Amino acid sequence: MPVERSVFVALLENFVANARAAFQHALEDGSIKFTKLVELARTADIPFSLFFAPREVVEAQVALKTEKLLQGLTKKEFSLSLRNSVELRDIELIVKDLLRKQELLKTHDKTLKKNTIVGSLSRPGRTVAADAAKLMDHLDISASTLRGVKTKSVVTQRLIAALESKQILVAQSQNNYIPQLLRGIRFLGLTVKDDKVPYIFLAGGDEGEHVEPAGRRTFTLVLLAVLIAGVCSPL
C-alpha cells in the first residue's frame, strides 16, 4: 500500500526517528520496506497504521499530540542561550514538554511556595561581584566550595543540586529521551520562567554528535540561573 509522502513526513519529522537512516533513505528513494516503516513507527511511538490514514486524520492526530504536550498553556516567556540562530520550531516540542511538566508539578504539589530566586536580582547591585555573591547566598553555595571540587562536571552537578533545592528544575538533553531531536541544532540551553518552579533545559549533553565541554555547560547553567533571577529580559 502506498504511503503519502506528506503523511510520512508529518508523522516523523519532529521525532527522534527522523535521524534514522531508514527515514532519510525513504525520502531520497521515495520508498521504504514495510519492516523499516514499522521500526520507525515504534521508535516514534506512532501506530504504524496511521501512515495509511487520510491526511486530514494524520493532521488531527499530530495536532492532538501537540495539544497534549501543551495542555492548553499559552505561556511564551522563555530565555535562550545560543551561539547560532535557532528557529522556535526546532525546539518547540521541548518547550511544550517543559511547560507541561511545570504545570503538572504546580497542580499536584500543594507545598510549592513562591520561588525566592525569581526576581532576586531584578534590581542590580553596585557591582557584578556583589550580585554574584547575592545569588550564591540565595543558592546556599560558596565560591570556595566550588573551587575545591576536582572536576568541572562535578561543579555542574553541584550547581544543579543547589538550583533544584530551590525549586528550579533542571533538565539535561539526552538523545532518545527528549521529545524532539536536537541533532544539528546548536544552542546551549533555555529557561522557562515561573513564579514557583522555573525550568532550565541544558543542551549540549548527549545529542549523538556534539557534547559541550563541562566548563561551558557550567557557564550556561549559571547564565540561565541569572536570567531566572531577573537581571536580563527573556529573548
Distance CA 143, CA 48 (A): 53
Distance CA 123, CA 107 (A): 30
Q: Are 185 and 86 in contact (CB under 8 A)?
A: yes
Mean pLDDT in residue range 176-183? 58
Secondary structure of residue 23 in the 3-state scheme = helix
pTM higher than the cut 0.85:
no
Q: How far is the C-alpha of 104 from the C-alpha of 112, rounded, in Å?
A: 12
- How far is residue 172's CA from residue 174's CA, in Å, rounded to a whole number? 6
Percentage with pLDDT > 70 across the chain: 73
pLDDT given at position 75: 47
Bridge partners (DSSP) of residue 80 are 190
pLDDT for the residue numbered 74: 46
pLDDT band at 88 (very low <50, low <70, confident <90, very high): low
Per-residue pLDDT band at 123 (split at 50, 70, 90): confident
Whole-number pLDDT of residue 234 = 41
